Structure 1
Amino acid sequence: MDMTASIRKFIVSLSSSRHRRKEMAFVAEGTKCVSDTIGSFPLRYLVATPAWADCHEAECAIAGSRLIVAPHKELERLSGLSCAPEVLAVYDTPRHEFDPEEANSNLVVALDGVQDPGNVGTIIRAADWFGVHTVLCSEATADAYCAKAVMATMGAISRVRVVRGNLPDMLRGCDCAVMGTFLDGEVIYSASLPVSGILVMGNEGKGITDAVAEIVTDRLFIPSYPSGVPTVESLNVGMAASIALAEFRRRLIM
């Protein structure tokens, strides 16, 4: 397949969240990301440099007629990254729905207004590592399918279901523990933690919204060490989510 002006315009348009949602498509960039996701989503286009295509026969075979071999300058025009990769893939965005029953048998992560796509991707990556299969995203949370977030997942986006919607409504539909991280919460290392439920992570600067805080049943706190010694004001939300998930899973193997 040859690159055309219409295909180029379409791929570039996917840098906008509005167009990603309208077209139900997203872009994955870079060798690691593409190799880990190809075959997991319906593929629209695989755009690669000649050198990349020569070295990745398996991926190109999967792409078949949807492979577009183009010079690196073309990738520079298409890429949303500061340093254009040798390959990018355009996939259909999956349509996932949340089954509240899942939170009765496993841990689910919910993101309440997390703004940085890198943090969203990091949390999805941590969720995958710790056996969490679903991440709920509020409408104010950064799009998990923007290029930066997808890259930050390191391929986990192909294994973790991302459900976007009205977070308070999704939480109210669950009959399970809803846990959130707060500065006035109970120390997570001594708190009684369930094996299932929903763990809510809030906005980088403002934390968990009032509407969601009203639904939270268990308020948790990750303390600094040693206690009482001046430290940074707070943890990055991606770091905090990883620490919290690690503690939940540690309890399962004790």
Structure 2
Amino acid sequence: MISKIQIKNITRLKQKKYRQQDGLFIAEGGKVIKEFLNSTFQLIDLFTTETFNVVNETIISEKELQKISCLTNANTALAIFKIPETVALSTDGLILALDSVRDPGNLGTIIRLCDWFGVKQLVCSLETVDCYNPKVVQATMGSLTRVKVYYTDLEQYLKDIKLPVFGAFMEGENVYQTTMPNEGVLVLGNEANGISKTIEGCVTDKISIPRFGALQATESLNVATAGAILLSEFRRG
């Protein structure tokens, strides 16, 4: 059984201001929740139609689960976890930076890409969508437990770092003809506008993914798709 107060407190976490105020976020689905349970994230509450055999678990009906779910069709469980405290930013290795990426699905996919390619740190501008947005958490499929995501003044961060800063631009050097270093920052821009002029001023190396289509008619790649190709080239060296 779930109370009206609990429903109110859970559904308000769909909004960023309440996630920040309460220091909590929502995770849905058995696979995603198990990833968080097996990590250092702290479980606050778990509402499920099938037992997980953990503390703070409440068995509820499918109808009750649908009332609190962020999904059109609720999965078998919804959990509330505590947002962890931010640790210090690293300044070495391969780092991915996002300049105003707004789509939750794109951010979730990019976090999964970081996990796949062994990028442990994702640095986001303050305008980038919240990584604890329920849609982002869902799209990461648990990779959020292994990738540290930071929100900061991206311009200042890039000015201070002592690594080469690579930016994805249409007019950049062909990435397939460029030797990529083991360490550096790769910047990906906004879905509609690309990398902003402010952040462009911090880029030391402009790179591009060439088009091979006969008509050369496609304007651009999806930001997550571009990120996958570029991260692959960095790891290939």
TM-score by length of 2: 0.95
SS at match of 2:9: helix
Unaligned runs of at least 5 residues, structure 1: 54-59
In structure 1, which of residues 152, 157, 163 is the aligned counterpart of residue 139 of structure 2?
152
Deviates more, 1:214-223 or 1:230-239: 230-239
For the pair 1:96 / 2:86, whether they are aligned, the reply is: yes
Corresponding residue of 1:56? none
For the pair 1:201 / 2:188, whether they are aligned, the reply is: yes
Rounded to whole Å, the distance in 1 between the matches of 2:6 and 2:183 is 44
Corresponding residue of 2:18? 19
Letter in 2 for 1:23: D
SS at match of 1:189: helix
CA contact (8 A) 1:100 1:173 kept: no
SS at match of 2:64: helix
Rounded to whole Å, the distance in 2 between the matches of 1:30 and 1:165 is 30
Shift of 1:191: 1.5
Shift of 1:97: 3.4
Shift of 1:184: 0.9
Letter in 1 for 2:48: A
Rounded to whole Å, the distance in 2 between the matches of 1:245 and 1:87 is 33
Corresponding residue of 1:210? 197
Letter in 2 for 1:198: V
SS at match of 2:166: strand
Shift of 1:224: 1.4
Corresponding residue of 1:39? 38
Corresponding residue of 1:245? 231
Task: Quickly say closer, same or farther: Cα 1:24–1:127, change in 2 above 3 A.
Answer: same
Shift of 1:220: 0.7
Paired positions, count: 236
CA contact (8 A) 1:124 1:157 kept: yes
Unaligned runs of at least 5 residues, structure 2: none
What are the equivalent positions in structure 2 for 1:1-254 lying under 5 Å apart? 3-40=2-39, 41-49=41-49, 52-53=50-51, 60-61=52-53, 63-64=54-55, 66-101=56-91, 103=92, 106-226=93-213, 229-251=215-237
TM-score by length of 1: 0.89
SS at match of 2:177: coil
CA contact (8 A) 2:164 2:204 kept: yes
**Identical aligned residues as a percent:** 38
Aligned CA RMSD, in angstroms, stands at: 1.3
Letter in 1 for 2:97: A
Q: What does the per-residue CA deviation read over 1:170-221, in whole Å, with 9 as the maximum and x for residues that have no partner? A: 2222111111100111111111311111111100000011111110111110
CA contact (8 A) 1:100 1:174 kept: no
Shift of 1:230: 2.8
Shift of 1:93: 0.9
Shift of 1:229: 2.7
